[in-house]
Amino acid sequence: MLDVRRMRVLREVALQGSFSAAAETLSFTQSAVSQQIAALERETGTVLVQRNARGVRLTEAGEAVVRHAEAILARLAEAEAELEAIAGLRGGRLRMATFESAGSSLMPPAIACFRERHPQVELSLSLSDPEDSIPQLKSGEIDFALTFAASPKQDIEGVELTYLLADPMYLVLPADHPLARKRHPRLADLAEEAWIWGSPSCDCYRLISRACMGAGYDPRIAFESDDYAAVQGFVAAGVGVSLIPELGLTSVRDDIVIRSLGRETPIRHIFSAALAGGYRSAAVAAMVEILSEVAERHCEQRPALALAA
């Protein structure tokens, strides 16, 4: 019988791309990781990992073990969640992940409300972008995540998504920029500007890029940053302009201005995410309900930001 703990180690090696990185993530020594993989290879009777100059590569057998490991770890997490939920919401835990802008806007009131209603449930929250939090959800490392996508109709295999709200992106300009006096500038007006964006792997990057291409130009990227406070600082200093989602504008500097792009506004869509097809704990169900309430209140307060713009 295969050792589940060793399968977890192999999965981490696959995710991290090296024994040393997997060891750091698991708080193991590199030697311990090597020993665990060697023991798993003896159990399976085949080579699972091949080393090369760039790190490690899974063999076909290794990839098969990792696929099964993800399913096994997810089922084990479901079993733990179900047992914890036997006591209803009078105990247990809820492990959550959220992307940064939702972590500073939607999650604080949601957690406060959850604690008021269910004070005996242990809550934990980590910051993770969707490309990280969804794999964590599937592997059972977390129970619940907030994610976003460029489309309101989003499907992720093995994950149940609950739509929460649309998150429009606003143009951010230096206070002395010529377009700062224009209430509704157009993307075409910004063709010669330097832009400050986040990581190219993020849906926000692709969303903004498509919008600019639709306005007839390929935007020139001056700096990359996923920290919206830092982006505001760069914009205030005149380094460039940017588009920031509404959820990232809970705090706005005095030396920048926020403008709506009207019909050209790119919109990202926010979802809560839990495992599909399995047992859903009472704590997850309660948090989904509370976040739906928080999202509804957030939408009702939107005119304040629009007027401020």
Instruction: Express each pLDDT in 213-250 by its tens digit.
Output: 989 999 898 888 888 999 999 999 999 999 999 999 98
Dist. CA 106–CA 93, nearest whole Å: 20
108-139: pLDDT as tens digits: 999 999 999 999 899 999 999 888 999 999 98
- In the chain, which segments carry CATH 3.40.190.10? 94-165+269-300, 167-268
The answer, as to whether pTM is greater than 0.85, is no
pLDDT given at position 143:
93
pLDDT given at position 273:
96
> pLDDT band at 208, cuts 50/70/90?
confident
Report strand pairing: 267-275 vs 159-174.
antiparallel
The dotted CATH code for 94-165+269-300 is 3.40.190.10
Closest residue by Cα to residue 224 from 204, 247, 250, 251: 204
Helix (H, G, I), strand (E, B) or coil at 98: strand
2-43: pLDDT as tens digits: 888 898 998 988 888 889 888 888 889 999 999 999 999 999
For residue 65, how many other CB atoms are within 10 A of its CB?
Answer: 25
pLDDT given at position 308:
44
> pLDDT band at 291, cuts 50/70/90?
very high
pLDDT given at position 154:
85
Look at domain 4-73 and name its CATH class: mainly alpha
pLDDT given at position 278:
66
Residues 6+ apart with CB under 8 A from 72: 4, 7
Residues 6+ apart with CB under 8 A from 185: 171, 179, 259, 261
Please tell me the CATH superfamily of domain 167-268, with its number.
Periplasmic binding protein-like II (3.40.190.10)
**Helix (H), strand (E) at residue 124:** strand 122-127
